[in-house]
Chain A
Amino acid sequence: MANKIVPKKTPMRERPAKERRKGYDEVPYGYNDQEAIAEAKRCLQCKKPTCIPGCPVEIDIPGFIKFIAEGDFEGAIKRLKERNVLPAVCGRVCPQEDQCEKLCVLAKKYEPVAIGRLERFAADREASAGEASIPQIPPPTGKKVAVIGAGPGGLTVAGDLVMLGHGIKIFEALHKPGGVLVYGIPEFRLPKAIIEREVDYLLKCGVKLYLDFVVGKTATIDQLLQEFDAVYIGTGAGLPWFMNIPGENLNGVYSANEYLTRANLMKAYLFPQYDTPIVRGKRVAVIGGGNVAMDCARTALRLGADEVRIVYRRSLKEMPARAEEIHHAEEEGIVFEYLTLPLQYVGDEYSWVKEMECIRMKLGEPDASGRRRPVPIEGSNFITAVDTVVCAIGQSPNPLIPQTTPDLKIGKWGNIEIDAKTNKTSKKGCWAGGDVVRGGATVILAMGDARIAARSMHEYLKTGVW
């Protein structure tokens, strides 16, 4: 590499914080051709790339970047899609800083190559150029696979297996495909048109999609197994947690899932054009410190709140949200109340939440997660006015399938137990992955699980050996 190393990532232009507080348009603009090529040229094209092992779906990272550096954008997207059916999504929501970019050689001395931004660029570039090219699909194997849940995991399994000639049918409970990508992640972080585009690509590859179908109710897994040779369970973490403190069932107290589903899937931000309403609170408290909490807080702001606070029981250092999300939230004026724990919510005479009692915390010894355990500071209680509370403290796997599939082994958190090497469940012909196995994790980990499962499923479909 003859060129001198550029120490910093090519910056990505963003909508100004003041402007975006009011709208649902995506915050970063993405690279243009010149910026992308400049950034791609920062890649050293290592002979033994250290970045690839950091990617749960093992994208040929230097490979696709080389195409961009040479201005061959079509080559770049083709290389990406060999390993990832959702590049426009992953380029936006993957925690690259903890995965591929963390392992980039440049990161030892400088900023790593902006792999995520380049991935996003390649996908968006293809979309803006028109129709995506459909790869050659091998002749049908005659095997049929049911994929439960059209979230990132289900879409990945479908993409991998359809390319191997298997017949795929995805069953989705909601009226739109995408899972958490459509009900959870807001428009300003992941425009819904992108998911539509990526799902559309899979459908053109021959994947069948059955919406409004709740496996466990509309049909059980055993009923599906009468028709299909294999089943993948990717039903996600669909059971919200509450803190079990007084006042949580007052009006105005939401789970993050409800708040985001109303705003995103049901488009309540466009009420009354769309029929689903949402409370447009003026003083909003979001409980929790993950990406979901950031999404809720930024949504509340866009719904017209005067003040939005993130209430988190530990400190910034322990916060699980991505640095970029925290940064965007701060820029937009979200207030962070660290080391604070809600104790109860108090309602008015109409059972609407009006106040929240909290206690300040300090950090004690590390707990099982390795993070320092927050301990209440006695006597530090205080009361603060709120009119909307969003509880974003996590969720557990959706119980509908475990409840209706007696021979599926379930862990103590309601998660489906699997063999980590193959993602096989205890039930013959059934694989599982993503949040239904992990509890609340990330899009890309769900996709990584799906990739492992797809490999094992293909083997089983070929040989019939469980």
Chain B
Amino acid sequence: MYKILKREKIVPNIHLLVIESDAIHRNAQAGEFVVVRADEYGERIPLNLVDWNDTSISIIFLEIGTSTRKLAALNAGDELATLVGPLGKPTELTKDKNVLCIGGCYGIGAILPVIRAFKKNGNRVITAIEARSEFMLYWQDRLKEHSDEFFEITRDGTRGIKGHANDFLNDYLKRERIDLVYVQGCTYLTYLCSETTRPFGIRTLVGLNPIMVDATGMCGVCRVIVNGETKFGCVDGPEFDGHQVDWQNLLSRRKIYLKEEVYSLSFYECEKYG
């Protein structure tokens, strides 16, 4: 069992969990993830590692289905049934380049270790975070600390640039030289950003979030078509070249259990709240 040191709602529906770690932090690298299971009945779900130190690791998640609802109900002192990692391949870090990192939703937190690693490697880091509205943005100070330039984008214009991340991306790439674009967030955001950078011919790394079970290469549910070849998100990814991903397939595979997920959540809520 894995002890929770802290659970904090950062913005509505997005939570931070800080969990005691005896091993995971030792080999953790930017771009990797962990698998958690809230309780003995729970599903195994992958979540990005957003931070770690000698005694703990941190994850950020969007509260949306049964598994994340269960995680959001935990508090300091509670325990997780499963915590395993670090998993996946770490981010392929460039050196001395101009890197533009975009984060949306849980991806705002998930880009923290990545921009930190890019910066440490001598890159010039431009960070842009996107949300629907001002109150959904978070961690500006932590991200700014490792960024040479920092942008906020809100769809309703309540803070920073008004619009979508891809609108900003399009404008920015027209006027600045960028060697690599890195995107973390929901599948739709990673897809849109990849399509935006495609005409510019700029390499675009995207953190994908296919469904996983064991997350060690054993089950193959996380398969993603990359450059016409089937890859496993858990051991070959979770980061891939966004220009080579078969987005239509990924988007449909993300929905395999949509019906069951809805059913499971109403079952959980009935059990819990009557």
**Which residues of A are interface residues toward B (Cβ below 8 A)?**
173-175, 183, 212-214, 217-220, 223, 238-240, 242, 244, 248-249, 251-252, 254-255, 257-258, 261-262, 266, 271-277, 279, 350-351, 398-400
Contact = CB atoms under 8 A, between A and B. Distances in A.
Given A212-B82, A251-B255, A258-B213, 5 more contacts: A238-B216, A261-B219, A273-B41, A275-B264, A399-B217
A279 B256 contact: yes
A255 B222 CA distance: 11
By secondary structure, the B interface counts as mixed
14 contacts: A175-B37, A183-B214, A214-B85, A218-B24, A223-B26, A238-B217, A239-B217, A251-B255, A255-B221, A266-B44, A272-B267, A276-B43, A277-B261, A400-B217
Contact of A258 (B221, B252, B263): B221
Contacts, number: 119
Interface string B16-33: 000000011011000000
Given A219-B27, A266-B213, A239 B43 contact: no
Nearest to A174: B214
Question: In the complex, which of the residues A242, A248, A266, A277 has the most CB atoms of chain B within 10 Å of its own CB atom?
Answer: A277
By secondary structure, the A interface counts as loop
A262 B213 contact: yes
A173 B219 contact: no
Interface in B243-274: 248-249, 252-253, 255-257, 260-261, 263-264, 267-268
A275 B43 contact: yes
B83 A274 contact: no
A94 B165 CA distance: 58
Given A277-B257, A279-B256, A351-B249, A212 B213 contact: no
Contact of B219 (A257, A274, A399): A257
Lowest 8 CB-CB distances: which A-B pairs, in order? Answer: A277-B260, A238-B218, A351-B252, A258-B219, A212-B84, A272-B267, A255-B220, A275-B43
Contacts of B85: 214, 217-218
A242 B220 contact: yes
Interface string B87-106: 10000000000000000000
B70 to A, nearest CB: 8
B87 A258 contact: no
B237 interface: no
Contacts of A244: 230
A105 to B, nearest CB: 42
Nearest to A403: B235
Nearest to B221: A258
A239 B216 CA distance: 9
